[in-house]
Structure 1
């Protein structure tokens, strides 16, 4: 990454005029009063009429104007030359040369927008120079010290393998304001800072992103993220209230750290996927009200106004492939990995679109690419507040069919009505009485630890006790299957040809599988 040049720390003209030594000279702003927030980079005492050629910009020029007396044209040109040199301000000490503010200088300074300050009492310029220069040096040292402190802290976190969020929390702690990381399309990838302040930023993010992208002001400081000649994002300090130079240094150090973090593999799954995972995980957990997550969803690029939301959970679905399928089909949505090999997908469709047909289309396309993928869906929601319950329902359905025998014919999109008894048993899996029932019914097999016979039993019951289909799926002959079924019945002490006994064993097996997944 090529870091932007960092300006030295500076005081503003307004701040200089409030210094105790300056106030003793009774300063009066006679022109350019609306430009007093200009930064003062240095203080320069000069009486030469052509002092402008010796300046490099940002200086506060102190003069008595002794060489300008009696020549209004020279006075005007003096102001114009300072304006061309981008001086911060001019301070004129009134006295023998000018007992009152010279009109020509005042008119020209106002026209140029250059602050002109007069001192009504005699004032040793050396004192002002010493005061301002010492403050500037202290400010610059403090900014550089802060920069090194932040660099050291972030480098230590990266070396320790800290996640992206930990780095951002550290940056927010030093900056004292919300921190936002976006891609080049202004989609929010990560945030840090006090939650209420961050939510305020995200609530109006579209306008703020345009504002921050156009210019920096009011403490909005951004730094580009990228490397090897390619930009891929930016970090924004939102409303930094400290010295601007310090904020600039913070943003640059933060950008360097984030680029290094990404290069070292901190973004193995992609920051976009991490952002989606954080949001979808919070929605599934339900610990935070959905309404509070709405700004994050909007800032992450998910359309949320007057939409139909379809919550999905996909088994054996790679988040990158899910995102690719969404883009290929032109479906707005988020996808991210959850725990236990599942991935969540939240579709956001226009109200006039056929949610059922588009969900089936998405699932069909996914099954073409990944034969083992199982797409579980909840009914579509039109109220954002209902999305968390929908995601939990889809997760329940996906978990209920997890590990189902291949013989169990599943539709392209599995819904609650498709999981029947399996879904009910999963809901009751943590009940101690259900656990006791499962152990008691299956004790003959569980005690022996015979997983092969358990697998045969699982397939035999799932296929409706179809011996031919079970033998085919386990690649054994019919006589071999009969011997295994006989062994199962002997160990369990049941007759699998009896419907009630077979149903009891089936329920116990479903409970056992639900408890151990």
Structure 2
């Protein structure tokens, strides 16, 4: 069996991107006594490169993001050239201009300062002589180191995630690792911004999901405040996105991590043969399983349900369980009928459907219509749709799902050909349904063991149990029981006598037969 590799070690975060403000804090720059004389509000512009230029038409040599160093020696005495110099830098989207005061300009040139202020271009003057080569060397070395660190980070993350994928790690494991090293909640959505999967510290994730409607509306806007997105898709098709929610590190580093994570998720989908739709099923399955289990209080699951696209405000919830249903078919049926809901296979042979209806809709009628259409579309007239009574309080939904599951199981356990309605409820399965609900009660378990002890401990108990089961289910019809077990009437009588002897009961006595019948139903429910 292939083992899943250990998570990668802590990844060194990238240094913050060099900005004009950070360059001005370098020791070598401080030695030149820098003073910001214009564009002070733009000091957080990133610096992509440092360029020494004296030519008046320097803008044609730039590609954007440069911090331009000059002494202005070719601009002295020509105010038009000075203004045009600043304008050309602005047009080229330079990060800033640094003017070394000296022979050409002993003081700040007012024309350049005013032009820079109008353009919003940061302008810095150095009051002490300063070798530009030292500043160029310092900034360039930092930029190169940062670029190398970014490449190293990218490769480390890609290698680690690829290792997890090839080892067969599930989607959640990948997301947990990404969340661990980004230090923030991670959310995967489809194109409709419905949440498919999340990772991160639970309180932080819940805070994100609680406000997900607003976040989803802004999902197409620009990134900011640590909200970093990367598209999921391939071969010209987009099918979702991954979002880092509130990433505290450098934006470029966060974008790099998001891109590597997106690559890994696409690869995971391709190698695993899964799809975005499969992830939606997994998301619904996780939510409904958590609701049924009760491990997480229903109130805490409300943000997840809302983020998954389920309407939850002032709604009527109808818990259903379909025996031997096809989740894909059930989802298509919901879309066809225009019914909001979640669909997930959460138990063997059972698919849960949680409908969310408006308060003024007839929940029972819509559930019956859904079941009837399902039988018609599938061609299976015996398709069992079990339901609990509608719930108008979200906290009651887990109990409803468990009740619907009990009803479905009770119908599946039945050995009688029941004439069932389109939607089966607890009242339709009578005693069998009650026993199913109580099967885990220690008193019921003890009762079943005590009543059937003579058969459960006997060597031929299984055969006799089968005869007893048929006899009681057929209403103590001896002829029918003999026919179903392919034995003669005298042979059946001998077996019934053996059963009565081992159990110490008289099956002709209604109360004793009823007691044995209830015990047998409880025993079968516990075994199932």
Please, what TM-score do these two structures have when normalized by structure 1? 0.90
Does the CA contact (< 8 Å) of 2:413 and 2:525 recur in 1? no
Aligned-residue CA RMSD (Å): 2.7
- 1:50-69 alignment to 2 at 5 Å? 50-69=57-76
For residue 289 of structure 1, what is the aligned residue in structure 2? 297
- Cα distance 1:263–1:485, how it changes in 2: closer, same or farther (>3 A)? farther
For residue 404 of structure 1, what is the aligned residue in structure 2? 414
Per-residue deviation at 1:81?
1.8
Does the CA contact (< 8 Å) of 1:235 and 1:255 recur in 2? yes
User: Which of 20, 23, 36 is the matching residue for 2:30?
Assistant: 23
Q: Secondary structure at the match of 1:79?
A: helix
For residue 400 of structure 2, what is the aligned residue in structure 1? 390
Per-residue CA deviations over 1:389-421 (Å, capped at 9, x if unaligned) read 222222233333332125123222222223332
Confirm whether residue 423 of structure 1 aligns to residue 430 of structure 2.
Answer: no
- Cα distance 1:120–1:469, how it changes in 2: closer, same or farther (>3 A)? farther
Q: Secondary structure at the match of 1:309?
A: strand
For residue 340 of structure 2, what is the aligned residue in structure 1? 332
1 CA distance for matches of 2:91 and 2:480? 91
- Cα distance 1:49–1:445, how it changes in 2: closer, same or farther (>3 A)? same
2 CA distance for matches of 1:454 and 1:168? 51
For residue 3 of structure 1, what is the aligned residue in structure 2? none
Residue segments in structure 1 that go unaligned for 5+ positions in a row: 1-7
Does the CA contact (< 8 Å) of 2:482 and 2:492 recur in 1? no
2 CA distance for matches of 1:77 and 1:460? 105
- Report the more deviating stretch, 291-300 or 92-101: 92-101
1 CA distance for matches of 2:394 and 2:489? 52
Confirm whether residue 279 of structure 1 aligns to residue 287 of structure 2.
Answer: yes
Per-residue CA deviations over 1:298-336 (Å, capped at 9, x if unaligned) read 111111111111122222222222212111111001011
1 CA distance for matches of 2:221 and 2:444? 62
Q: Secondary structure at the match of 2:386?
A: strand
2 CA distance for matches of 1:329 and 1:482? 57
2 CA distance for matches of 1:230 and 1:142? 32
User: Which of 305, 308, 315 is the matching residue for 2:316?
Assistant: 308
For residue 245 of structure 2, what is the aligned residue in structure 1? 238
Q: Secondary structure at the match of 1:11?
A: coil
Does the CA contact (< 8 Å) of 2:343 and 2:353 recur in 1? yes
- 1:463-482 alignment to 2 at 5 Å? 463-465=474-476, 474=484
- Cα distance 1:484–1:55, how it changes in 2: closer, same or farther (>3 A)? farther
- Cα distance 1:294–1:437, how it changes in 2: closer, same or farther (>3 A)? closer
Per-residue CA deviations over 1:24-55 (Å, capped at 9, x if unaligned) read 33323222222222211111122222222222
2 CA distance for matches of 1:75 and 1:485? 118
Please, what TM-score do these two structures have when normalized by structure 2? 0.89
Per-residue CA deviations over 1:52-91 (Å, capped at 9, x if unaligned) read 2222221111111111112122122212222222222111
Does the CA contact (< 8 Å) of 2:292 and 2:399 recur in 1? yes
What is the count of residue pairs matched by the alignment?
508
Does the CA contact (< 8 Å) of 2:384 and 2:408 recur in 1? yes
For residue 507 of structure 1, what is the aligned residue in structure 2? 518
1 CA distance for matches of 2:482 and 2:127? 106
For residue 375 of structure 1, what is the aligned residue in structure 2? 385
Q: Secondary structure at the match of 1:177?
A: coil
Does the CA contact (< 8 Å) of 2:20 and 2:43 recur in 1? yes
Per-residue CA deviations over 1:103-157 (Å, capped at 9, x if unaligned) read 3222332333322222233222222222222221222222222211111111111
- Cα distance 1:216–1:431, how it changes in 2: closer, same or farther (>3 A)? closer
2 CA distance for matches of 1:482 and 1:328? 58
For residue 3 of structure 2, what is the aligned residue in structure 1? none
Q: Secondary structure at the match of 1:68?
A: coil
2 CA distance for matches of 1:402 and 1:429? 15
For residue 356 of structure 1, what is the aligned residue in structure 2? 364
2 CA distance for matches of 1:255 and 1:458? 57
Per-residue deviation at 1:387?
1.8
For residue 135 of structure 1, what is the aligned residue in structure 2? 142
- Report the more deviating stretch, 242-251 or 381-390: 381-390
For residue 4 of structure 1, what is the aligned residue in structure 2? none
For residue 448 of structure 2, what is the aligned residue in structure 1? 438
Does the CA contact (< 8 Å) of 2:45 and 2:95 recur in 1? yes
